[in-house]
Structure 1
Amino acid sequence: MGSVQTDQTTFTSVELHQLHHQDLTNERVERAQWVLKSPEPPGLGQQLLHSIKANLFPQRKKYSAVSFFKGLFPILSWGRHYKASKFKNDLMAGLTLASLSIPQSIGYANLAKLDPQYGLYTSIVPPLIYSLMGSSRELAIGPVAVVSLLLSSLLQKIEDPIANPVAYRKLVFTVTFFAGIFQAAFGLFRLGFLVDFLSHAAIVGFMAGAAIVIGLQQLKGLLGISKFTTNTDVVSVLESVFKSIIHEPWYPLNIVLGCAFLIFLLITRFIGKRNKKLFWLPAIAPLISVVLSTMIVYFTKADRHGVKIVKHIKEGINPSSAHQLQLTGPHVGQAAKAGLISAIIALAEAIAVGRSFASIKGYHLDGNKEMLAMGCMNIVGSLTSCYVATGSFSRTAVNFSAGCQTVVSNIVMALTVIISLELLTRLLYFTPTAILASIILSALPGLIDINEAYHIWKVDKLDFLACIGAFLGVMFASVEIGLLAAVTISFAKILVNSLRPGIEVLGRLPRSDIFCNINQYPMAIKTPSILIIGINSSLLCFANANSVRERVMKWVTKEKDDTEEKEKGRNIQHVILDMSNVMNVDTSGILALEEIHKKLLSHGIELAVANPRWQVIHRLKLAKLVDKIGGERIYLTIAEAVDDCLMNSKGAGGSSC
C-alpha cells in the first residue's frame, strides 16, 4: 500500500482519501450553514420604506434634501445641462404638437361629455406637472380618446351630462382626483404589478374594441344627430343612428363636410407615413381642417342650414375646481371605482408608449417614477378643472418625429394652448362638430393593431383569448365588461399555471455538475438510488400545494416501480427537492412539504432540499420544518446534495453510481 511522508507523519492512501473526504464534508457543511444562517429577509414595512426611499432619493446612500428633490423632480438634474441647440428642436416639436393637441383636445372633451374648454385645460396643467416630474423625453401628455370614452361610459350612468352637466362635471373632477391618488400610490409603493394584470394582449384587444366604438360614436357628429344613446356597445349605437335617421331630421351638409376633411386627414396621414420628412403634414392637418372648416361655415352661414357648431368656448386659463370635488356623499364609492379603472388604463397606455420610444432612444424608463409623476399631475389637474390625462400614442409619435430632445416640448405645447385660450377661443365659435368627429376618426387607426393580434395568436393562444375577450366585451357589452373579461381571462391563465406548476425529474448532464429536465435533455443521467425533483413555480401556496404534493409522490411511486422492475435491490433511498425556482412559500406550501417528508419517511426514503431561496428558508425555519428534515439535509446546490446522499448510501451499504 502506498504512503505519503511529511516531516513527522506518514499517511497511507486510504487515510489521505479519508482526510480528503472529511475536507469535502466540512466544506459542504459550511456551505449548508450559509443557507441555514442567512439573515432574516426584510419585513413588509421595511420593503415599503425601501420603495419610498428608492423613488424619492436617486442616491440610496445619501438621503438629503437635494437628493430628495432631484429624485422627485428629474428636471433639476438634466436642466443644468440644457443647451440652446436642444431648445430649438423642442420649440419646433412643441409648436407642432400644439397644432395637433388643440383640435384633438376639443374633440376628446366632447367624447368625455364635457365642454370643449376642459379638453384644452387638460392640455395645460398635466403636461406642465409632468415636465417637472416625468422621466420620458418624448411622451406627450394630455387627454386621450380611450380614457375620454371610459369616463363618459362609466359616469353618465351615475349623472346625466345633458340634464345635469354641473353634477357630472364635479363627478369627473372627483374621479380624476382618485385616479391621481391611485397612480401616485402605485408608484410610491412600487405596486406597478397591479397594472400588469391588464396584459399586453388584453390592451391590444381593448384598444381595438374601444377604437371601433369611438368611431361609431362619431356618427353623431358626422350626421349632426341631436338625440343619441348613452350606451357604448355597437348594437345600441347603430340602433340609435338608424332610429335618428328614420324618425328625426338630419342634415347632409354635416356628413359632406366631415367626410371631405376626413379624407384630407387620411391622405396627409398616408403621405406622412410614406415620407418621414413630411411628418409635420399630418400633425398640422387637424389644425388646418379646423381653420378651413370654421371659415367655410362662417362665410356660408352653414350653421343656419343645419350644420352643428361648437359655439361658445370659455376664455381664460384653468379655473380652480378644488371646491367641486365630492369626497363625501352617495357617489364617492362609485367615483373611487371609476378612478381606479381610469388610473390603470391611463397608466397602461402611457407606460407602454413611453417605454416604446425610450427603447428607440436607448434609455431606461422607470415605471414607478412615471406612475408617481402621472399621479401627481392628475391630482393637481383635478384641482384645476382638468380630467384624467395620460400619454398619447399619436401625439407622442408626432413629438418624436418632430425631433424633441426633452420634455420642454410639453412646456411649449402647454404655453401655446394657454395663448390659444386667452386669444383664439372666439375664433372657434363656428367650428363644426363634424370636423372634430373627423379628427378623432383619423386618429383611431393607430389604436387598431391587427398585426400584433395575429402575432399574439401565433405565439400564445390563451393570450389571444384575453385579447379577443376584451375586444368583444367592449364591442358588444360595455367598456367595463370588456375590461372585466380581459382581466378575468388573464387571471384564469395565471391560476391555471399556478394550479399546475412544472414538476420535473432532473438528471446530471454528462461531464458536468449541471442538473436539467430529463425530458428536455435526454442525455441527462439519473443518479441511482436518488430521485431529484425540480419545482418550477415562483410561489408554493394554497393554490398549488396539494398538486405539488400529489405529483411529487406520484413521481416517487413511479420511480420506485420502474426501479424494481429493472434492477432488484436498488430502491430509491433519497429524494432531493430542487427549490431554486421557488421564491416564496405560504403555510399551505409548508404543510405540503411536511406531508411529503412524512410520507417519504414511511417508505424509508430521506428528503433533502437544495438551494431554498431567502424567504423560503426563513419560513421553513419559523415553521420548525428545518428541524424535522434536519439541518444537515439542506444544501446549497443539487450537486452537493447528490454527493452527500451517495456517500450516505455507500456508508449504509448501498450501491454507488
Structure 2
Amino acid sequence: MKPKTTNKPLSHPELQGPALRQGLWGLLKKRQYSLQLFQQDATAALIVTLLLIPQSLAYALLAGLPLQAGLYASILPAIAYALVGSSGVLAVGPVAITSLLTYSALSPLALPGSNEYLSLAILLALMSSGCLLLMGSLRMGFLANFLSHPVMSAFVSAAAVIILLSQIKGVTGIPVESGPLQVQLWSLVESLDQLHPMTLALGLGFVVFLYTARHFLAAWLMRRGVAQATAALVARMAPLILLVLATLLVGLTDLDQKGIKIVGELPVGLPELILPSFNSDLWVTLVPMAIMISLIGFAESVAIARTFAAKRRQQVNSNRELMGLGLANLAAGISGAFPVTGGLSRTVVNYDAGAVTPLASLLTGLGMILVLLFFTGWLHYLPQAMLSAVIIVAVLSLIDWKQLPYLWRYSRGDAWAWLATASGVLLLGLEIGLLLGVLVSLAAWLAKNSRPHMAVVGRVPGTEHYRNVQRYEVEVDPQLLSLRIDESLMFANAQEVEQRVLLEISQRSGIRHVILMGSGINHIDASGVEMLEQLNLLLQEQGVSLHFSEIKGPVLDRLKNSHLLKLLTGEVFLTQHQAVTGLTGKRRETESPGS
C-alpha cells in the first residue's frame, strides 16, 4: 500500500511535464527540485539501501561471482541510471534473471568465482552496455515489443524453476550440477547422500520465515492496528531483518564450525575501476548472450517503469531508458560487477517508500558506498543458506503456470509460444528456449495474417451500417458482393484474399460489382498492391467491376503512388453506404425504361 505522499499522483504537477522524462539532469536544469522532494527521495533511498544488502549478496551468489560483486553492482549502476533515466522509481541493480543469464553464459567458459570468471562477467556487462547504448542512439526502444508477453512470461517462469533448483545446494548442502532441468534433477538424485541436516534445518527455516513475511506479515500487522503502508514496508524488509537475526545466530553459536557455510571476509572500500583484457574470440562467443541480456533486461525494466509511471500519470521514454540502462551496465563493468537491470521488488519498495525522482536512485548508490566502507565486516557470519533462501522466495513469485490454461482458452497461438519457450528453457537452455519462443510467436503471427478474416457484409435494415451476413439479418443486392477485409494486405495473405474473392463470385451468379470494404486494412505492401491489380484484371475479364470503400488515408496514399487506381474498373467510395447506394442507383437508372 502506498503512503499518502505517493497516493496523490498530481501532488507535484511540475513532474508531469517533460523534465522528469529527461532524467535527473532535466529536473535540475529546470530548477524543478525542492526540499520536499529531497526528503521523500532520501527516505526511499534509505529503505531500498537496507533491502539491497541481502539481495545484492544473494544475486552475486546466483551469478557465480564473489559476493562483493553484488554490492559493487548496486553502487555506480544506480548512480549512472539516475543521471539520464526517465523513471522516478525504477531501482536498477542486480536481479535474478540477469544473474542467471550471466551464470549460464559464463559457467561453460570459466570456473565460477575465479578471476577469469570475474573478468568475463565484467566483459559481459560492458558488451551489454554497448548493445543498449547502440539501440538507444538509434532510437530502437520498439525492439522490446518483439518479446511478446506470453514468451516473456514463459521465459521468466521456466528460468525461475532453474534458479530454484540451482539454490538447493545453499539450503540443503546437496550440490546440484548446473544445466537444463533434466541435468539438474539427475544431479540432485545422485547427490542426495551429501545432504547436510543442519544446513537443511536452517535453510527451511529461512525460507518459511521469508515466505510467511512476504505473504502474511502485512495482513497480520494491520489486524493489530499498524498502518497499511507501514505494514507493507515492514513485510518487504523481512530479508534485512532475517539478515541480522541469522548473522547473530551463527556468530553467537559458532555454527560455522559445524558445517554451516558463511559469507566470510568481504573487501572493505570502494571497487577499483578496471577494464578487462581484449580477446576477440571471447567477444564473439559472448555477443549472443549480451544481446539477450540487453533485450530481456530492457523489456523487463520498461514494463516495470511504465507500470509505476502510469500510477502517477507520468510517462517513460523508452529510448532514454535504453541510454540509462546502457550507462548503468557500463558503470557495472568498470566497477568490477556484472550486468544489471531494473528490479521489480526493489522498485515496489522504492515506490511505496515515497520516491519521486531519479535522485532516489543516486542516493541509494551513495548509501551502498557507506555500506562498503563501514559495514561489510558485520556480514562475516552471515550464512549462505540465508542468501539462497532470499533467492528462492523472490523467484517463487515469478512462476506463473496459470498463464498457460488462460492462453489455451484465449489464443492457441500464444499458448503454443508459451509452451515452446518454457519447454525450451527447461530442457534445452535459456538461449535456445527464448529463441524458440520468439520463432513460434512469429510463426503464429504469420499463420494468422496469412488467413485474414473476411466477411460478406450487407446493410442492417433502416441504417447505414454494414455487418457480417452470417451474424446479422441484413439486406444484400444480388448483383453486389461486398467483402470486408479485416487484416492488412501483405505478402503473407495476398493470394488468400484473391482466392477468397474469386471463390465468393463463383458461388454467386449475377454478380456485377465487387466492393472491397477496407476499414480493417491498416497497411498494404507491394505484394498487396500487385494482387489487387491482378484481381482487377481477372474480374474485368468476367465483366465484374472492382470498387473500394472506407480506405484509410495512409493506405490510399500508397495506392495513389501505384498504377492500380489508373487501371481500376470501378470507383473509390468514401463510405460503404455511398458505394452500395451509388452502384444500386446507377443500375436502376440503366434498367429503367427509356434510359
TM-score interval (norm. to shorter): 0.7 to 0.9
Q: Distance in 2 between matches of 1:417 and 1:89?
A: 18
Amino acid across the alignment from 1:251: H
Q: How does 1:53-68 map to 2 (within 5 A)?
A: none
Is it true that 1:519 corresponds to 2:519 in the alignment? no
Amino acid across the alignment from 1:299: L
Deviation at 1:145, TM superposition (A): 0.5
* 421-430 vs 545-554, greater mean Cα deviation: 421-430
Deviation at 1:450, TM superposition (A): 4.7
Residue in 2 that maps onto 1:370? 321
1:251 to 159, 178, 196: 196
**Distance change (3 Å), C-alpha of 1:333 and 1:649:** farther
SS in 1 for 2:248: helix
**Distance change (3 Å), C-alpha of 1:613 and 1:302:** same
2:308 to 357, 370, 390: 357
SS in 1 for 2:263: coil
Q: Distance in 1 between matches of 2:490 and 2:348?
A: 44
Structure-1-length-normalised TM-score:
0.80
Instruction: Give 5+ residue unaligned stretches, structure 1.
Output: 1-57, 60-66, 562-570
Deviation at 1:359, TM superposition (A): 3.0
Amino acid across the alignment from 1:523: E
Deviation at 1:451, TM superposition (A): 4.9
Q: Is the 8 A contact 1:585 1:615 kept in 2?
A: no
SS in 2 for 1:103: helix
Instruction: Give 5+ residue unaligned stretches, structure 2.
Output: 1-15, 223-227
Deviation at 1:337, TM superposition (A): 1.0
SS in 2 for 1:81: coil
Residue in 2 that maps onto 1:463? 414
Is it true that 1:542 corresponds to 2:480 in the alignment? no
SS in 1 for 2:547: strand
2:97 to 143, 146, 162: 146
Residue in 1 that maps onto 2:259? 306
Is it true that 1:85 corresponds to 2:47 in the alignment? no
Deviation at 1:452, TM superposition (A): 4.7
Residue in 2 that maps onto 1:292? 245
2:181 to 230, 234, 252: 234
2:450 to 495, 499, 504: 499
Amino acid across the alignment from 1:324: P
Deviation at 1:185, TM superposition (A): 4.3
Residue in 2 that maps onto 1:388? 339
1:260 to 205, 209, 212: 205
Report the structure number with the largest CA radius of gyration: 1
Give a deviation string over 1:164-223, Cα, whole Å, max 9, x none.
833333332333233333334444545444322322122222222222221111111123
Deviation at 1:603, TM superposition (A): 0.6
SS in 2 for 1:363: coil
Give a deviation string over 1:604-638, Cα, whole Å, max 9, x none.
011122344455344434442222116x7233333
Q: Distance in 2 between matches of 1:393 and 1:516?
A: 46
Q: Distance in 1 between matches of 2:334 and 2:410?
A: 45
Q: Is the 8 A contact 2:21 2:317 kept in 1?
A: no
**Distance change (3 Å), C-alpha of 1:519 and 1:369:** farther
Q: Distance in 2 between matches of 1:585 and 1:337?
A: 34
**Distance change (3 Å), C-alpha of 1:496 and 1:302:** same
CA RMSD, Structure 1 to Structure 2 (Å): 2.8
Residue in 1 that maps onto 2:145? 196
Structure-2-length-normalised TM-score:
0.87
Q: Distance in 2 between matches of 1:420 and 1:428?
A: 10
Deviation at 1:391, TM superposition (A): 1.6
Q: Distance in 2 between matches of 1:455 and 1:185?
A: 37
1:220 to 142, 148, 169: 169
Residue in 2 that maps onto 1:639? 577
Is it true that 1:155 corresponds to 2:102 in the alignment? no
**Distance change (3 Å), C-alpha of 1:359 and 1:70:** closer
1:556 to 502, 505, 509: 505
Q: Is the 8 A contact 1:223 1:255 kept in 2?
A: yes
Q: Distance in 2 between matches of 1:95 and 1:628?
A: 71
SS in 2 for 1:391: strand
Deviation at 1:536, TM superposition (A): 1.3
Q: Is the 8 A contact 1:202 1:487 kept in 2?
A: yes
Residue in 2 that maps onto 1:110? 61
Q: Distance in 1 between matches of 2:22 and 2:237?
A: 34
Is it true that 1:626 corresponds to 2:573 in the alignment? no
Residue in 2 that maps onto 1:606? 545
Q: Is the 8 A contact 2:20 2:87 kept in 1?
A: no
Q: Is the 8 A contact 1:171 1:325 kept in 2?
A: no
SS in 1 for 2:203: helix
SS in 1 for 2:546: strand
Deviation at 1:230, TM superposition (A): 2.8
**Distance change (3 Å), C-alpha of 1:85 and 1:499:** same
* 394-403 vs 77-86, greater mean Cα deviation: 77-86
- In the alignment of these two chains, the number of paired residues is 569
Residue in 1 that maps onto 2:591? 653
Deviation at 1:325, TM superposition (A): 6.2
Residue in 2 that maps onto 1:7? none
Amino acid across the alignment from 1:529: Q
Q: Is the 8 A contact 1:99 1:286 kept in 2?
A: no
Q: Is the 8 A contact 1:197 1:491 kept in 2?
A: no
1:379 to 301, 324, 330: 330
Give a deviation string over 1:499-538, Cα, whole Å, max 9, x none.
1011112223334433333334x13322442222122113
Q: Distance in 1 between matches of 2:456 and 2:277?
A: 60
Deviation at 1:591, TM superposition (A): 2.1
Q: Distance in 2 between matches of 1:325 and 1:510?
A: 77
Deviation at 1:496, TM superposition (A): 1.5
Deviation at 1:418, TM superposition (A): 0.9
Q: Is the 8 A contact 2:89 2:351 kept in 1?
A: yes
Q: How does 1:340-489 map to 2 (within 5 A)?
A: 340-489=291-440
Q: Is the 8 A contact 1:573 1:649 kept in 2?
A: no
Q: Distance in 2 between matches of 1:206 and 1:149?
A: 12
**Distance change (3 Å), C-alpha of 1:454 and 1:187:** farther
Q: How does 1:307-322 map to 2 (within 5 A)?
A: 307-321=260-274
Amino acid across the alignment from 2:211: L
**Distance change (3 Å), C-alpha of 1:463 and 1:406:** same
Is it true that 1:127 corresponds to 2:67 in the alignment? no
Deviation at 1:586, TM superposition (A): 2.5
Amino acid across the alignment from 1:587: A
Q: Is the 8 A contact 2:81 2:325 kept in 1?
A: yes
Q: Is the 8 A contact 2:41 2:360 kept in 1?
A: yes
Residue in 1 that maps onto 2:8? none
Amino acid across the alignment from 1:653: E
Deviation at 1:650, TM superposition (A): 3.9
Q: Distance in 2 between matches of 1:503 and 1:380?
A: 53
1:324 to 250, 254, 276: 276
% identical aligned pairs: 31
Amino acid across the alignment from 2:563: K
